[in-house]
Structure 1
Amino acid sequence: MEMLKGKVALVTGASRGIGRGIALRLARDGAAVAVHYGSNKSAAEETVHAIREKGGTAFALAADLTAIGDIHAMFAALDAELEQRFGDNGFDILVNNAGIGQSLTIEETTEASLDEVMDIHVKAPIFVIQQALTRLRDGGRIVNLSSAVTRIAFPNLLGYSVSKGAVNTLTYVLAQQLGPRQITVNAIAPGFVETEMNADTLSDPNGRQFAAGLSTFGRWAQSSDVADIAAFLASADGRWVTGQVLDASGGSRL
């Protein structure tokens, strides 16, 4: 059932991991998907190919989201692509997924490391949304990727945790501001997901077992587990949900 038929989505960091899973799911539900990537062009093209192979519509956009100029250039490219394909530059769904992993305690944190994680997790979504607002149609959807570390304390993930906490606050503020336009703004907070970002933990049998044991289900999440939640929030079924941080950690540390 194509619940998103006729909709257009932009998913940042969609070449791999959770972002790829979300792009594939939104396309399966009928949305045309702009697949953003930072540097891995081949992975982005694989995502686009996977969508097109199943009859969907997708195209890739490159941008370093830590550079304001690149964000502006990405939206200029998006405008051109949408106007050519659909006759205008409006779109309906924005998923702020692009992110990095970082494992540092407060003692290990440097100015450079903190700038790095804040730039991609906080600064980038703010300025991506700023550019999106003049293009996002009324009744649209914004989905931000947060993390269960905003609820569960991991001292070795200081900068990462703080940056995702800011994502939650951004979600609340924008949900209030954009409500009159019937735009919903929500965040998804996954726990451990089996993606390349967690390759080091996955390769360590003890780390893999520890992370699986956090969930009441005793397993790691798959990107599709998170993508299905994003699809609900992006659909008409999610119209009455806004300003929420949805825990998607499989009941970790209940």
Structure 2
Amino acid sequence: MNTPSTHAPLPPHSLQAVIFDWAGTLVDFGSLAPTQIFVESFASFGIHISLAQARGPMGLSKRDHIRTLLEEPAIRAQWQERFGALPGASDIDALYERFMPMQIEKVGAYSKPIPGAIDTLAWLRAQGLKIGSCSGYPRQVLDVLLPLAAQAGIVPDHVVAGDELAAGGRPGPYMALANVLALKVGDVRACVKVDDTTPGIEEGRNAGMWCVGLTLSGNEVGLTEDELGRLAPAEVAERRQVAERRLRDAGAHFVIDSVAELPGVMHEIARLHGG
């Protein structure tokens, strides 16, 4: 496999910007930080949710994620049995207030760049592309994550948090378009959205961008590098296939294993965009 530095340069004036998600895309292989904290925050209320359930709405803003989990029938039934009533708006607030300090405390432990991310960002910048980013993380969480990621070499030109736009978050186009405005991009069709979640891909499509989904590094597979490395090749292939199908169903134009493979796809996007 070619590394980013060995790829030929992109055609001049073809694409303008790439907008990345964070957990499972640039940092935190397997997107573990938010998933585990959802499990722990619900457990603090005496409600058991599995890692698979916690991953289901991944990509949404964290408050919307909690609301969506509470709408799941099995979780609603647990809540009603424990508290004698179905969950409401005040319960969403209470879970969110419990979630936030736990996430802030833990996110630093999951700030390691995904292999290839630093080289890929450097290659994109060498092509003259702007680097945007957005996340389901609230700004308070990103304020902890961003300095740690920067120390490791992950420094986008702009970052939008999941709780800072009045219009809302994913799957709406708003965070992606906020990057377009901040980066002064002249054509959304010349932007590429890179994400490991289905709401993140839908966000990019709704914004009118090319969309690249990530399988093995992200939420859809949900394993650490070590866990993935212990699987038999056939099982890796099966998990990749399931993840790819979900991301393509959400609208991904291309699907790759991780951000390390993005430069090759950028050439194909530039060719199609120019055509």
Measured against the shorter chain, the TM-score band is 0.3 to 0.5
> Which of the pair is proportionally richer in strand?
1
Q: Which has the higher contact order (CA 8 A, sep 6+)?
A: 2
Normalising by structure 1, report the TM-score: 0.44
Normalising by structure 2, report the TM-score: 0.41
